[in-house]
Amino acid sequence: MLNDSDFIKTCDVPGPSKEAIRAIVLYKSDVKNDDVVVDVGCGTGGFTCEFAQRAGRVISIDTNPEAIKITKKNLKKFNIDGDVTLINNDGANALKSIDGIDIAIVGGSGRKLEEILELLDSRLNSKGRIIVTAILVDTKVEAINKLKELGYNPQIMEVNISKGRVLDRGIMMMSENPIAVITAKKR
Ligand code: SAH
């Protein structure tokens, strides 16, 4: 796993998703070395950098051109030479021309989550996996309801991580913001 503190960051782009979250997403995705992965809302490239080391191909999409730039910088910084395509576009547009997806990560969707999930469903291989990471309660509910409507059996895990800061007189636990990892597998 990559270290959170090693990522290049900028105030214009959220991320990276924390190490523990990336680890859970990787394990839930059951990624194989020939899988095609899309990272919708790649942000700083947290998921892109992890999957690019383990999958066959990664396609990363973000509406924010700064996110595409910083994801590219992070791939370079970590010397990741996997097959990665970076697309500066809305996921709801870009996905129309992508097919044969094994794993779809949705880390950002704006107000287009339902549209993106519908597109992903139509472009996902059988046994494909959709993983949504959501901070807003509303996004969690929307993702679950839409995935149910599309015929999936979604699972939701709320992840609360606290990390220790070692001080002179003891260890202070500092919490990170809770985030839900919603997973669904195509039959
Ligand atoms: N998981 C990322 C952080 C994601 S932040 C990491 O580890 O670095 C969410 C990102 O989603 C933002 O960069 C935002 O620009 C992007 N985003 C929001 N709506 C989007 C959409 N409809 N299509 C593509 N990207 C989108």
Rounded to the nearest integer, the mean pLDDT of the chain is: 97
Domain with 37 in it: 4-185
Q: By alpha-carbon position, which residue is closest to atom 13 of ligand 1?
A: 43
Choosing from 69, 73, 109 the residue with most ligand 1 atoms within 8 A of its CB, the one to mutate for a pocket test is 109
**43 CA → ligand 1 middle, Å:** 5
In the structure, what pLDDT confidence band is assigned to residue 86 with cuts at 50, 70 and 90?
very high
Q: Residue 187 — pLDDT band, cuts 50, 70, 90?
A: confident
Is the CB–ligand 1 distance for residue 17 below 6 Å? yes
Count the Cβ atoms, other than its own, within 10 Å of residue 168: 4
Encoded tokens for 4: 């959170």
| 13 ligand 1 Cβ < 6 A | yes
53 within ligand 1 shell (Cβ under 6 A) = no
CATH number at residue 34: 3.40.50.150
Across 98-102, average pLDDT: 97
Element (H, E) at 171: strand 170-175
**DSSP conformational letter for 110:** T
C-alpha triplet 104, 1, 138: angle, nearest 5°: 40
Q: How many separate domains does the chain show?
A: 1
